[in-house]
Structure 1
Amino acid sequence: MPRYEYRCRSCGDTFELSRPMSESAAPAQCPAGHADTVKLLSTVAVGGSGPSSASAPQGGGGCCGGGCCG
């Protein structure tokens, strides 16, 4: 189940909740009982077995390397 991070606007506390994706936009209550919270944007690093950018071929396929910038 995904974890979402929230910050309470009343007390400044940051907390996480595990909830289904279908409830990701639902309001969340702060552990101290405050209702004025905001969901924070999180960056997620996902590892894989594909080639890293250091070993990828240079000069082709990327936006600026492929010539689509201009």
Structure 2
Amino acid sequence: MPRYEFRCRACGDTFEVSRPMADASSPAACPQGHDDTVKLLSTVAVTGRGAGSAGPTGPPAPAGGGCCGGGCGC
């Protein structure tokens, strides 16, 4: 279940609420009981395999090439 971060305008506390995505824009009360809260824009956390591991479609594509990466003497 997604977690959404809120900040209370009355006391300044920041808190998280777990709720379904369908309720993402619903208001949330501060743990201190205040109702004047705002949902914060959070960055996305992605978990999973490391950057160098093979994914479901195989190993990562090779990088480089072109003029400066291909040894054309530039």
| Same fold, judged at TM 0.5 (above) | yes
TM-score (norm 1): 0.67
Percent identity over paired residues: 67
Which of 54, 57, 69 is the aligned partner of 2:63? 57
CA 1:31–1:50: 2 relative to 1, 3 Å = closer
Structure 2 SS opposite 1:15: strand
In structure 2, the partner of 1:12 is: 12
CA deviation vs aligned residue, 1:27-66 (integer Å, no higher than 9, x gap): 10000110000001111231454856xx862589xxxxxx
Over 3 Å off, 4+ runs: 47-52
TM-score (norm 2): 0.64
In structure 2, the partner of 1:23 is: 23
Find the aligned partners of 1:43 and 1:36 in 2 and give their Cα distance.
23
Unmatched tracts of structure 1, length 5 or more: 61-70
Find the aligned partners of 2:26 and 2:6 in 1 and give their Cα distance.
11
- CA RMSD across the alignment: 2.5
Aligned residues: 58
Unmatched tracts of structure 2, length 5 or more: 53-60, 67-74
Amino acid at match of 2:23: E
User: Which residues in structure 2 correspond to 1:37-48 (within 5 Å)?
Assistant: 37-48=37-48
